[in-house]
Amino acid sequence: MKLSRVEFVNFKLLDGVVIDFSTEELKPLTVIRAANGSGKTSILYGLAWGIYGDPGLREDNLRLASSFQKIGAPITVQVVVDFEHTEDGISTSYVLTRSLEETPVSYERVEHKFKKLRLVKRLSAGEEEVKNPQQKLNQLFPLRLKDTFLTDGDKVQSFISGQEDRKERQHRVKEAIRGLLGLDNLEEVKRDLEHLERGFRKDLAEGGDKKLQEAQNHLTKAEIELNGLKQSRDEEAQKRAKIEDSIGTTEHELSEITGVGDIDQLNKEAASAGKAHSLAQKDMASYFENARAMFKSSEGFSWSLAEEPLREGQKVLADLADKGVIPGSSIGVLQDRLDIKTCICGESLEDGSSHRAQVEALIEEQSLISAERERLTATFHRTRAGLNSYESDCVDKRDFKSQRPLLLAQHADIEERLRDASARKRVVDEKIKLIDSEKVQRLTTRLAQAKRDHTESSEKIGALERSVALKDDERIISEKRFEEARKAAKGDDRARLRYEMTLDLKEVVTNTLNTLKTDHVRAISGLMNDLFMQIVGGNPELAGAVFRGVEISSDFDIVITSGDGALLDADFELNGASQRALTLAFIWALMEIADIVAPRLIDTPLGMTSGGVKQRMVEAISSPVTSGLLDYQVILLLTPSEIRDIESLLDERAGKYQTLSCSKDYPAELVHDWAEGGPRVRRCNCSHREYCEVCERTDDSSSGLDRRVS
């Protein structure tokens, strides 16, 4: 089936929003452009609810209308989906209308009333109401295939990776394959036919001879016993699966604790951190001691502080020396002159002469200032010697200024070691606190018991398998005997034909199931590999290729092989773009091989992709339907950044395009204010290359988009 149109009434912020989908074979792609928060995911959920009702959403009674709806005010929510379904070459149009009345009773809770579902078939003669609409919808859109039809891009990798564990992923892959190949329905029919076979065989035997009756009794007994054994085996297998789950959970819990760290190891780490801390503390003490000694033992620190004023003083003293003020020597000369009683000028300095009195006064005056000169002279010499020594230290980098950065670096280094050691110790101490040793003990005991139970269960299953095989041999022999007896016996032709017809039907269904489970799973695997390699641009023949290929294993796991033959872990060794590529390749291959025409709607499929991968991904998932290809429909909900660089491809492939905008983005991102009342989403007909009064964003005119002329 293909979607033609959907209309949302009061679904989230979508009120009166209509989306038209392309149903063209040559342009199977519908592009819905919407920035984040503009209704893309609401479209996905709205369609899921419209088609499946509550089971389409993650839980019942979710708020469907806008969260701005007032408490106590009821509102009608409605989704109308127009779609076409083709069966045996005949295309039929349907209109599905699902509605309810929603009343918010608190900020967290809503009440739903008046739930209605209507499905109308549009015929040339008029409309015809489908009597059991949900049943019909379940046939057309099986619920378990919801994630294949309507895919959330952010969860798209769940088939191959993500939070789910390996078993869950295998289950999802298996379910998707079984669902799309219709294996469950065929197996159900097979069980019905086996039941009928026993009934018709009994009828046949009752109309035959004693030998036939005995053979029938033996065969029925063997079958009953075989079924009993199979049931016991299956029950035991289920029990073992539960044990395996329990082992997995326990191991996970233990690994979480192990993730914190093994207690012995943690204690060792704590001791090591403590030792490192003590050592750093010791080094710090030693550093301070050295620094103190350095301050004490030399004048370096004083020199570094006093150098400038000392040099200025030295300059003044040098000036005084140049002028002969220091050192002072005039007193000795004058005393000599007094002793010889003749002045330098030749005047007599006889006792009692006035000239002698003047010289004696001069000597007294000079003696008063000579102490000062001596001190200055001594200071001059000491300072000069000190400065010379300091300059020599500077040349040898032994001065305080040179030593200071080294001391600071040494101090910073020790401080960092102290901080590191403290932090390490704190982390380890926190981890140690987290470890509940009793819990570890409990989990270890539980794990050991579970492993013993697992071994015991495996042994039981092995024994039951052997019993099943033996009993099956017995059944085959009984069946052969019954067949021989049946052929030899004369009896009711109708009874014989009923029996043979049932056997033929069972054979047809069994062989079909085997073919689907083997050949076609291989075909899906092969096509998935082709598509994946096409998208990621891998060529397995090239040396150094990243991927050699991907395949679905016999236990329904998607296995990725690297260029050098190693198996890659989808979670850790595959980037986001490759994960998306692989999942889309799986979905596309599955639907293609299963020959199912169904919408493939994907919300943000190109997140985490860019460049060639993005281009090739869109090329691969939107190819025109040509002869030999399955007719299909693909709807991509894209953000403007996902659209970037693939505009030309979208021009070529998109049959319909529209843009969604949300009024809450005005004025930060939207240019025009068109909302009335609360926030709402509006659709316009702009393509990925256009903007208009509704969708124009602040950077549109500068980003190469054209104004749409309506």
Partner 1 sequence: MAKINRQQVLREQILNRPERYSNYHEDLAALLSDAMTSVREDRTVAERRKSLTEGIRAKATRGSTAGGEE
Could you say whether residue 192 binds partner 1 (CB under 8 A)? yes
Q: How many CA atoms lie within 13 A of 481 on its CB side?
A: 18
* Span of 132-140, 445-453, 562-570, 616-624 interacting with partner 1 by CB under 8 A: 132-140
Q: Among residues 121, 113, 119, which one has the least CA distance to residue 64? A: 113
Q: Which of residues 471-500 bind partner 1 (CB under 8 A)?
A: 493-494, 497-498, 500
Q: For the beta carbon of residue 187, count every other beta carbon within 10 angstroms.
A: 14
Q: Applying CB under 8 A, which of residues 232, 422, 512, 698 lies at the interface with partner 1?
A: 512
* Span of 99-107, 417-425, 578-586, 587-595 interacting with partner 1 by CB under 8 A: 587-595
Helix H segments across 53-182? 133-140, 146-149, 166-181
Could you say whether residue 511 binds partner 1 (CB under 8 A)? yes
* Span of 69-77, 384-392, 396-404, 504-512 interacting with partner 1 by CB under 8 A: 504-512
* Span of 262-270, 329-337, 518-526, 662-670 interacting with partner 1 by CB under 8 A: 518-526
* Span of 192-200, 475-483, 561-569, 639-647 interacting with partner 1 by CB under 8 A: 192-200
| Beta carbon of residue 618, minimum distance to partner 1 (angstroms, whole number) | 20
| Beta carbon of residue 619, minimum distance to partner 1 (angstroms, whole number) | 17
Could you say whether residue 25 binds partner 1 (CB under 8 A)? no
CB 552 within 8 A of CB 524: yes
| Beta carbon of residue 178, minimum distance to partner 1 (angstroms, whole number) | 12
In the bound state with partner 1, the residue whose beta carbon lies nearer, of 394 and 505, is 505
Burial 132-163 (b: 16+ CB within 10 A, else e): ebbebbeebbbeebbbbbbbbbeebbbbbbbe
Could you say whether residue 199 binds partner 1 (CB under 8 A)? yes
Could you say whether residue 182 binds partner 1 (CB under 8 A)? yes
Q: Applying CB under 8 A, which of residues 193, 334, 535, 705 lies at the interface with partner 1?
A: 193
Could you say whether residue 87 binds partner 1 (CB under 8 A)? no
327 upstream amide cis, omega within 30 of 0: yes
Rounded Cα distance between 112 and 104, Å, is: 9
List the x/- string, 607-636, binding to partner 1 by CB under 8 A: ---------------------xxx------
Q: Applying CB under 8 A, which of residues 115, 116, 118, 195 lies at the interface with partner 1?
A: 195
Q: Among residues 490, 479, 504, 508, which one has the least CA distance to residue 204? A: 490
* Span of 151-159, 423-431, 510-518, 681-689 interacting with partner 1 by CB under 8 A: 510-518
In the bound state with partner 1, the residue whose beta carbon lies nearer, of 175 and 299, is 175
Three-class SS state of 261: coil
Could you say whether residue 171 binds partner 1 (CB under 8 A)? no
Tell me which DSSP letter residue 346 carries: S
Question: At a CB cut-off of 8 Å and minimum separation 6, what does 345 contact?
Answer: none
Rounded Cα distance between 273 and 21, Å, is: 65
CB 680 within 8 A of CB 662: yes
Question: At a CB cut-off of 8 Å and minimum separation 6, what does 323 contact?
Answer: none
540 upstream amide cis, omega within 30 of 0: no
Could you say whether residue 119 binds partner 1 (CB under 8 A)? no
Token pair belonging to 576 = 């986001």
List the x/- string, 520-559, binding to partner 1 by CB under 8 A: x--x--xx--------------------------------
Beta pairing partners, 91: 86
* Span of 186-194, 412-420, 448-456, 667-675 interacting with partner 1 by CB under 8 A: 186-194
Could you say whether residue 428 binds partner 1 (CB under 8 A)? no
Beta strands in 545-632 (DSSP E): 547-552, 558-562, 567-568, 599-603
Under the rule (CB under 8 A), what is the footprint of partner 1? Answer: 135, 138-139, 181-182, 185-186, 188-189, 192-193, 195-196, 199-200, 493-494, 497-498, 500-502, 504-505, 507-509, 511-512, 515-516, 519-520, 523, 526-527, 592-595, 628-630
